[in-house]
Chain A
Amino acid sequence: DEIRIWVRYKEGFSDAVRKNVAWSSLWS
């Protein structure tokens, strides 16, 4: 069965330091 459908669990949830947004990244 080469069709792999699964969740690789992560122990923690990390949310990073906030950073400002550049105009070009809105469109990329």
Chain B
Amino acid sequence: PSVNVSKRQLQTLLQSDQHQTSVSTPLGNMMLEIQGDLEVPRQWHEDQRFTTDGEHQMVRWGLLHIDTARNNATLFVGRKQRLLGSLVKLDTPLGLIKFNQQDGTVEMQDVFHYKVLFKSRPLPIM
């Protein structure tokens, strides 16, 4: 079997030679990595942290602060945890690819050159 990889969404990006230089890509995507399991509720609750955007229900779980001068990052998770991390340049850029099961098509939607990485033990919030 074989399937073409569409790069339609990437075209303008590739032609202008723009690529990610900070926390999010020019197309608005971000890659966040935590050394651990991030537990987040999967069910709707009547709580201000739960919102709907278009057809998607979501829960607000954290706050991210980037110190662009030093590439440091701070992540507040829930109400009780604080993680220290950094903006890391990827050794090999990562293509974001969607495999559409319904119509059997494949699309490369973006390229990540950086990720925000948290590998230290979470600190309590004082």
Question: A3-B41, A3-B47, A3-B49 given as contacts; is B99 within 8 A of A8 (CB)?
Answer: no
Interface core residue of A7, A8, A13, A27 (most chain B CB under 10 Å): A7
Name which residue of chain B comes closest to A28, CB basis. Answer: B101
Name which residue of chain B comes closest to A8, CB basis. Answer: B37
Whether the pair B41, A7 counts as a contact (CB closer than 8 A) is: no
Residues of B within 8 A of A (CB): 1, 34-41, 45, 47, 49, 59, 61-62, 77-81, 83, 99, 101, 104, 106, 119, 121-122
| Supplied contacts A4-B41, A10-B36, 17 more A-B pairs, CB within 8 Å | A2-B45, A4-B39, A5-B39, A5-B41, A5-B77, A5-B79, A6-B38, A7-B34, A7-B122, A8-B37, A9-B35, A9-B36, A10-B37, A13-B35, A13-B119, A26-B99, A26-B106
